[in-house]
A and B are shown apart, each in its own frame.
Chain A
Amino acid sequence: MKKQTKVEIWVGAFVLMGFMALAYIAFQVSNFSDWKDRPTYEVSALFDNIGGLKERAPLKLSGVVIGRVDSIKIDPVSFKAKVNMQIDQAFNQLPIDSSVSILTSGLLGDQYVGLEPGGDEEVLQQGSEIEMTQSAMVLEELIGQFLVKFSESD
């Protein structure tokens, strides 16, 4: 019987270690803490060109992450890219005339959506559409424009 107790203690310690490892991975290593079901609301925006924006890219206000890109589709009417974003319910006071633009973090970093607040009394809520958008800067287009300007000035 004593041997069985020893076995039980060891197995208990083993299982505990396993779960501690899981907790360590969840909270320290992965993004589990911002995966908790915080209440969110969905807004959408139409872009001419989203560049390299991906699903789950962050939505930032003054550099602070306030939401994520949920899905990217093509709007069947205007043929523009329709980006749906989930915004944390804690930020439910954003003016409805806010504008969004697709920016890049650093020179070679990932692309994210930057939100610039407007001044309207009305606020964004579930299902709102952000009217003012600015597309991603595509490097090839920029170079093209630069070359055109350059040859004009000659």
Chain B
Amino acid sequence: MSHLMGGFQGVLQRIGRSFLENIAVFGRGSLFILSLLSAVPSVLFRMDLLLKQIYIAGVLSLPIILMAGLFVGMVLSLQGYNILVEFNAEEAVGSMTALSLLRELGPVVGALLFAGRAGSALTAEIGLMRSTEQISALEMMAVDPLKFIYAPRFVAVIIALPLLVLIFNALGVFGGYLVSVSWLGVDSGAFWSQMSSQVDWQEDVMNGIIKSVVFGVLIAIIALFQGVNAIPSSEGVSSATTRTVVHSSLGILGLDFILTSIMFN
């Protein structure tokens, strides 16, 4: 009997502990976001740090974004053409490609790639900085790591992602043009005119940009928080990096559904 009671208490204890731990993580995360936001204005005084981070997050992510955008656009219009040609509506392939890119695929695929390329690097960098006690060294020298390390990276990610998504979209549309007009022989005039009559500047383009900004904030917060909270060992850093990619990917997909249901209803 006492053995059973002990097992029951153990289960209860485990539930309680994980609940408290989750609440603690939530609280630490909220505090971290608040302190991050309060440090954002200080980025203005250190533009050189910001530029360097935009270079690392944005410029170095360009190749993968360029390639992915081109191929996503090409495959979209190829599939679209194969379906639309059955209804003799192959001119609509341009508007279909552009709308799916601008509304969904551009922001989502761009953000997923960015989380894998730049978010993971960010977590690993900060996790390693902590495990090699560089952050403590900065604090010893009275340099605030929040202003010097975290805030420039936070702002850089939020600036870089929307720009990358715009480039992704433009290249995707160009890839669609290549496949449908140059290869499959859709009329170029009909391709562009259908596209520009269907795609709305505010509804489609602006909402896509808003989505990419939201995803940028999400990735930046998750990547920095995981880096700061990584267990300072090589295993800890590697599992924090994995968590960054998994959590931001799931967050992007979930948020995308919520944003779409708000924007396009």
Contact = CB atoms under 8 A, between A and B. Distances in A.
Interface of A: 4, 7-8, 10-11, 13-15, 17-22, 24-26, 28-33, 35, 56
Contacts of B62: 14, 17
28 contacts: A7-B52, A10-B59, A11-B54, A11-B58, A13-B59, A14-B55, A14-B62, A17-B62, A18-B162, A18-B163, A20-B170, A21-B163, A21-B166, A22-B166, A28-B173, A28-B192, A28-B196, A29-B173, A29-B196, A29-B205, A30-B98, A30-B200, A30-B205, A31-B199, A31-B200, A32-B205, A35-B202, A56-B200
For the residues of A in contact with B, the DSSP-based class is: helix
A25 B192 CA distance: 11
Contacts of A28: 173, 192, 196
Interface in B144-190: 160, 162-164, 166-167, 169-171, 173
Contacts, number: 79
Nearest to B47: A8
Given A14-B58, A14-B163, A24-B170, A30 B199 contact: yes
Interface in B188-219: 192, 195-197, 199-202, 204-205
Nearest to A18: B163
Contacts of B48: 4
A134 B82 CA distance: 39
Contacts of A25: 102, 166, 169-170, 173, 205
Contacts of B197: 31
A38 to B, nearest CB: 14
Interface string B74-108: 00000000000000000000000010001000000
Contacts of A15: 163
For the residues of B in contact with A, the DSSP-based class is: helix
Interface in B6-52: 48, 51-52
Contacts of B98: 29-30
Q: Which 4 A-B pairs have the closest CB atoms?
A: A18-B163, A21-B170, A21-B166, A32-B201
Interface residues of B, number: 30
Nearest to A13: B59
A95 to B, nearest CB: 28
Contacts of A30: 98, 102, 196, 199-201, 204-205
A24 to B, nearest CB: 5
Given A14-B58, A25-B102, A25-B166, A8 B199 contact: no
Contacts of A11: 51, 54-55, 58-59
Contacts of A56: 200
A121 B43 CA distance: 64
A28 B95 CA distance: 12
A25 B201 CA distance: 9
A55 to B, nearest CB: 12
Nearest to B56: A7
A28 B176 CA distance: 13
A56 B51 CA distance: 42
